Amino acid sequence: MEMNEYLDVFIEESKEHIQSLNDQLLLLEKDPENLDIVSEIFRSAHTLKGMSATMGFQDLAELTHIMENVLDAVRNHQLTLTPEIIDVVFNAVDALESMVLDIIDGGEGKKDVSDLIKQLEAIENGELVGETKSVHPATSSINTTINVNQDLDQFELAVLQQSQEKGFKNYQITVQLQETCLLKAARVYMVFEILEQIGEVIKSTPTVTELEDENFEYDFSVILVANDTPEAIQQKVMKVSEIDQVQINEVELGNQSTTDVSEEVTPQKGKEEDTSKKEASKSQLTSKTIRVNIERLDALMNLFEELVIDRGRLEQISSSLRDNELQETVEHMSRISGDLQNIILNMRMVPIDQVFNRFPRMVRQLAKDLDKKIDLQIYGADTELDRTVIDEIGDPLVHLIRNALDHGIETPDVRKQKGKPEEGILKLNAYHSGNHVFIEISDNGAGIDRDKVVNKAISNGVITQEQGQTYTDNQVYQLILESGFSTADKISDISGRGVGLDVVKNTIESLGGSITIDSTFNEGSTFLIQLPLTLSIISVMLTEVQEEKYAIPLSSIIETAIVHKKDIMRAHNKQVIDFRGKVVPLVSLQHVFDVPGEPNDEEYYSVVIIRQGDKMAGLIVDTFIGQHEVVLKSLGNYLTDIFAISGATILGDGQVALIVDTNALIK
Amino acid sequence: MAEVTTEYLKSIVFQLNDEEYAMPVDLVGSIERMMHITRIPGAAPFVKGVLNLRGVVTPIIDLRTRFGFESVDYSESTRTIIIHHNNMDVGLIVDAAYDVIDIPKDRLEPAPEIVGSVSIEYIDGVAKHDDRLLILLNIDKVLADEALASKTAFQDKQV
């Protein structure tokens, strides 16, 4: 049962480590000489190995172990990195990832990794001629001196060697507890306490965690580095009661040549420093952050949403009662809950890096598959977005990137012919602007062929011949986001099946965002995605149309205006006004939403000026009620595709008000 | 299939246009009195709108309009039956809802060509129970509407 608790932590951390493995490997690929990176990878692999072994995921542990060996060989200059080796390690990381995914899905993380292990072993052995000898005989010499059935990894071996160099002695101590012993874990703890006073425990079999869980029979063995004589140690350990016998063997590391050892020692020191540094930074981190289950945050958010609704209600009551004390209290409460809201919303903000971080790996693979040279540049990965948005935006981005790689950037030959550098650039850029987050995906590839798109659209019956001639470039580019549209001449399994970009568009629009395309033929294209910062609580302008209330998101409002009837002009059979020198079309909400009731015939119109990109429109309403913070709720699965309504919210009086989708009204 | 033990279908019985209808009780989340309903512009005519069901925005279908009956003013006995089906929460407005009964499954009969006034496509079958004729509604069909094109429901239907 308790395993589950650990499992969550394990999964989270394994994901982080695998991500870091991927990141570092990519760096290493660019800079194979940099041993710091190798050390970083080694550390991640090592931690992962430890964790998975503790959790009992053997395949995972085994694969990381052998991977670690290869890395260690690299780090100790016994092996030179080649692209082939990096590929194999990448494959290994992939396998690790799929195992972790299996574990997340409730599986046991099992996978046949023997091939990969063989490959890795081949790398480790095949290239390790000569110098390997220094390590391997050492292992076997241990095996002969004592029956060490546990496999000491390189790190442990190195520590033992080092301590031997410094004149310490290495002991293998086997402790047998009495079979009547009741509190095995307690005894083990006492033994460890004594051993740690004498020297340093390098390794224990079974592992410390297993020992603590009393997950062993009656004996366990440890490897200890100490200065005392075996007899002294034995005496001290025997002082713990309920111990049957203590067996101490000295571990001989065999005849290492001094040069070899010194070679081993130097990187070792560096590594130990690194580890301690890492531990220091880790402890710093733990003191500042805690892991919270996302479900708890969601629960908190839901509760807070209820509170926001009640707050609205209280504000209404207090303003109608006009009681000073009540008003003060309610105002104070509103301020506090406003602060609380900021904190909660910020808590849910995560850097977009969480989505971006998988792209380098993906682009590398795609570039290989497609035989293209790609330079992926990522900017603004620390831009923060609400988690709900982050969760949804991954797939559309993957799609757009695949699209850019497949259709955008040309093959090196073609690029050369066009006089461009062989390596294409794919740029990912995220930034905040106002209440929105923008994500830009641009490539310097082929761009969009206007004629091709127009012809395709005409042949698909999306537009007519005349439309094809009158459409602006931007309108044409927007066409490729329509469903059933693929201009790729050949269909590949990467993109171009004609399903896709419309899905991207739908997803983004369902998030309350929008996507625009800018492109120059033969110079490249830019896809610009605009997203709201958060999806849960938004500021709206509440308006009334006859008896019905509509909420207009504040983020799309420029201002409100009272317009005299005589200022309304007609153009193309549409009502327009002159708003600060611009012609702005008017839209009557009563008309759009078929609100029952006589249209009002007053001298003045209340107009909300909204904006979408560089387009504007004026919405005619009856009354402005005021600005409110509301909780965005969906209309549910039953009502989908309601025109110009993006959702609903619950007002203070418990009624539902609809939220206007201003984007739909501007088009 | 002549089983000795009779299986029962626990059903909610409700009234619509002076006829009695039934639907499985496990679909039903709750039965509510009439609340304020917010109209949804552009939705199908039988979708009355949405209401706030304890913080959840729930769409409401008027069964009278759905089945083409003449609409009447809501009265004291008018109820909204909230059902949960295919991951959707939907409320159904009925004239009255008053009973939960066990219908023996072997008493269920396929719908005859003409039963009451509801078009046959919405009906799963009929059952006679203590001199009452109960009409079993097919919720999938009641909820489904091409104009609504609720994608999930549509796919489910095709399977």
Banded model confidence at residue A267, pLDDT cuts 50, 70, 90: very low
Kindly report, residue by residue over A170-203, the tens digit of the pLDDT. Answer: 888 888 887 777 777 788 888 888 888 788 787 7
Residue B3 lies in a domain: no
Using the predicted structure, report yes or no on whether residue A132 has a pLDDT greater than 80.
no
Residues A20 and A47: their CA atoms lie apart, in Å, by 12
Average pLDDT over residues A125-154: 43
The β-bridge partners of A520 are A524
Q: What percent of chain A has pLDDT over 90?
A: 6
Residue A303 with chain B: CB contacts under 8 Å: none
Residues A266 and A165: their CA atoms lie apart, in Å, by 13
Say yes or no for a CB contact (<8 Å) between A592 and B50. no
* Cα first-last separation, chain B: 27
Q: Which CATH number does the domain housing residue B41 bear?
A: 2.40.50.180
Residue B2 lies in a domain: no
Kindly report, residue by residue over B110-127, the tens digit of the pLDDT. Answer: 877 665 566 677 788 888
Nearest partner of A545 among A469, A509, A501, A599, judged by Cα: A599
CATH number among 3.65.10.10, 3.40.50.10310, 3.30.2130.10, 1.20.120.160, domain A1-129: 1.20.120.160
Per-residue model confidence (pLDDT) at position A440: 92
List, by residue number, the catalytic residues of A. 46, 68, 403
Say yes or no for a CB contact (<8 Å) between B89 and A636. yes
Residues A647 and A662: their CA atoms lie apart, in Å, by 12
Residues A319 and A309: their CA atoms lie apart, in Å, by 16
Answer with the residue of higher pLDDT: A171 or A138: A171
**Chain A residue closest in CA terms to B87:** A637
Cα three-residue angle A318-A559-A627, rounded to 5 degrees: 15
- The count of residues in chain B is 159
The type of residue at A426 is L
Average pLDDT over residues A11-35: 82
- Residue-number span of the structural domain to which B30 is assigned: 8-158
Mean residue pLDDT across chain B: 80
Question: What top-level class would CATH report for the domain A139-283?
Answer: alpha beta
**Residue A38 and residue A77 in contact, taking contact as beta carbons nearer than 8 Å:** no
Say yes or no for a CB contact (<8 Å) between A637 and B150. yes
Using the predicted structure, report yes or no on whether residue A421 has a pLDDT greater than 60.
yes
Exposure string over B17-44, b if 16+ CB within 10 A, otherwise e: bebbbbbbeebbbebbeeeebbbbbbbe
Give me the torsion for CA of B35, B38, B43, B46, rounded to 10°: 30
Q: What distance in Å separates residue A574's CA from the closest CA in chain B? A: 22
Question: What top-level class would CATH report for the domain A537-666?
Answer: mainly beta
Comparing A246-260, A432-446, A453-467, A468-482, which segment has the lowest mean pLDDT? Answer: A246-260
Per-residue model confidence (pLDDT) at position A511: 78
Residue A658 with chain B: CB contacts under 8 Å: 38, 40-41
Residues A415 and A424: their CA atoms lie apart, in Å, by 8
A40-48 — which CB contacts under 8 Å span 24+ positions? A41/A71, A42/A68, A42/A71, A42/A72, A42/A75, A42/A271, A43/A274, A43/A275, A43/A278, A44/A17, A44/A20, A45/A17, A45/A21, A45/A71, A46/A155, A47/A13, A47/A17, A48/A14, A48/A17, A48/A18, A48/A21, A48/A96
Residue B1 lies in a domain: no
Domain ranges of chain A: 1-129, 139-283, 299-348, 351-532, 537-666
* Cα first-last separation, chain A: 56
**What is the number of structural domains in chain B?**
1
Q: Looking at the structure, give the CATH architecture of the domain made up of residues A351-532.
A: 2-Layer Sandwich (3.30)
Residues A232 and A621: their CA atoms lie apart, in Å, by 92
Lookup: tokens for A589: 């909400």
Residue whose entry in the numeric block shows the structure tokens 């574990």 = A103
Residue B146 with chain A: CB contacts under 8 Å: none
Banded model confidence at residue A137, pLDDT cuts 50, 70, 90: very low
- Highest mean pLDDT (candidates A345-354, A447-456, A603-612): A603-612
Residue B31 lies in a domain: yes
Say yes or no for a CB contact (<8 Å) between A658 and B40. yes
Say yes or no for a CB contact (<8 Å) between B39 and A656. no
Residues A139 and A151: their CA atoms lie apart, in Å, by 9
Residue whose entry in the numeric block shows the structure tokens 């409100």 = A560
Lookup: tokens for A16: 């982080």
Query: What is the value of ipTM here, to two decimals?
Result: 0.79
**Residue A353 and residue A361 in contact, taking contact as beta carbons nearer than 8 Å:** no
Least CB-CB distance to A638: which of B36, B55, B150?
B150
A510–B contact, CB cutoff 8 A: no
Say yes or no for a CB contact (<8 Å) between A309 and B55. yes
Region class of A214: left (phi > 0), else alpha (psi between -120 and 50), else beta: left
Q: What distance in Å separates residue A593's CA from the closest CA in chain B? A: 5
Using the predicted structure, report yes or no on whether residue A270 has a pLDDT greater than 50.
no
CB proximity list for A95: less than 8 A, separation 6 or greater: A63, A111, A113, A116
Using the predicted structure, report yes or no on whether residue A273 has a pLDDT greater than 90.
no
Kindly report, residue by residue over B126-135, the tens digit of the pLDDT. Answer: 888 778 888 8
